Amino acid sequence: MPRKMITVMIRMRTVTSTKSAASTRSRRALTRKSPPRWRSKPVSEARPQVPASWSAPSAVMAALFPIPDGIALIRARFPGQVTKINASLGDSVKAGDLLASIESNDSLQPYTLRAPFAGTVIQRNINVGELAGEQALFTIAKLDPLWVELKIFPGQRREIAPGQLVRIDTGDAQHESRISHIVPQNSGSPYVIARAEIANAEELLSPGRLVSASIVVERIEVPLVIENRALQLLDESQVVFVQEGNSFEPRPVELGRTDGQFTEILSGLKPGERYVVENSYLIKADIEKSSVSDDD
C-alpha cells in the first residue's frame, strides 16, 4: 500500500534565527512520507469530562501483593532431613508438582511435599541435607491477579470509598482498576489500606514491587479535553499539532486542570478539530531539525 504524502506546517519564531530573511519566515513547509503511526484524533472524540485525580503523598506510592487466597506457605508434615529439592526460586509449578523429598526423623521413611495449586515459587528457605522443622520451606503464590495496596490516612478517609477508579503506573505500563474494599488496620496504625486488583496475565509484575497510583475522587465537567500524549513543548510553549488539510500545524494551547492522562484546554482548540495523538514528538523533531538547518 503506498504511503500517503503529507506536508507538515511549522511556525518559526524570529527570535530563534537572525541570519537571513529566509530563516525568519513565520511558516515553512516540510514534505515527507507519513508513517501509518501518525494518527490524528478529532477533539470531539475525546472524553467530555476530566476526572480530577486525587493523589495524596501517602497514596502516590503503592505496592503489589498476592491476593490472600493465592498464597501458600509449604511446611514439612514431620521433622526430617531434606533429601531432594525439585523447585527453585522463580519456578512456575502446577498443582501436584513435586517440591521436595524429606526423610522423617521418627519413621526414617521418605515423604514428599507437593504444590497445592498452580503458581510461582517466590520463596525457598531450604537446601538438600538441611533439617526441615516448623519453618516454611517454600512460598507459592498466584501472580494473576495481584493486589495493589494504598495507605489511606484519617484526613483522606472521607474521600475514599469502594468502587472508585484507581490509575496505576508500573513504570512501563498504565492500568486502571477500582477499589474493591478498604481494610481497617489495628488500633495502633495511623492508616487503613485500600485494595484494588491488577491483571497480570503475562506475570510481568511481581509481589513487593512499588508502583505509583492515584484515586479518582471527583469528576469535573469541562468543555474540552485532549490526551496528554498530544502535548509537546515547542519554543517554550505547549503546543498541539492540529490537522489543517494535509498539514499538521503547531497550535499553542492554554492548559487547565489535568488528571495525568487528559488535560483541560482553555483556549487554542475548538471541538471537532483533529490533532495528532500518537508519536507527536516525531513532528516536533522534524520542526527542530528544520530550524537547525535554517540556522546553518
Tens digits of residue pLDDT in 12-54: 222 122 233 333 333 333 333 333 334 455 554 433 344 444 3
Comparing 94 with 186, the larger pLDDT belongs to 94
Q: How far apart are CA 41 and CA 34, in angstroms?
A: 16
CATH entry 2.40.30.170 includes domain 54-67+144-219: yes
How much is the pLDDT for 282?
81
Report the SS3 class of residue 38.
Answer: coil
- Per CATH, the number for 72-141 is 2.40.50.100
Tens digits of residue pLDDT in 58-103: 345 799 999 999 999 999 999 999 999 999 999 999 999 999 999 9
How much is the pLDDT for 49?
40
Boundaries of every domain in the chain: 5-46+224-295, 54-67+144-219, 72-141
Q: How far apart are CA 174 and CA 178, in angstroms?
A: 14
* Beta-carbon contacts of residue 245 (< 8 Å; ≥ 6 apart): none
Q: How far apart are CA 70 and CA 122, in angstroms?
A: 12
Each residue of 189-208: b (16+ CB within 10 Å) or e? eebbbbbbbbebeeeebebe
Architecture of the domain delimited by 5-46+224-295: Beta Barrel (2.40)
117-137: average pLDDT: 95
How much is the pLDDT for 36?
33
Tell me how far apart the terminal alpha carbons of the chain are, to the nearest angstrom.
37
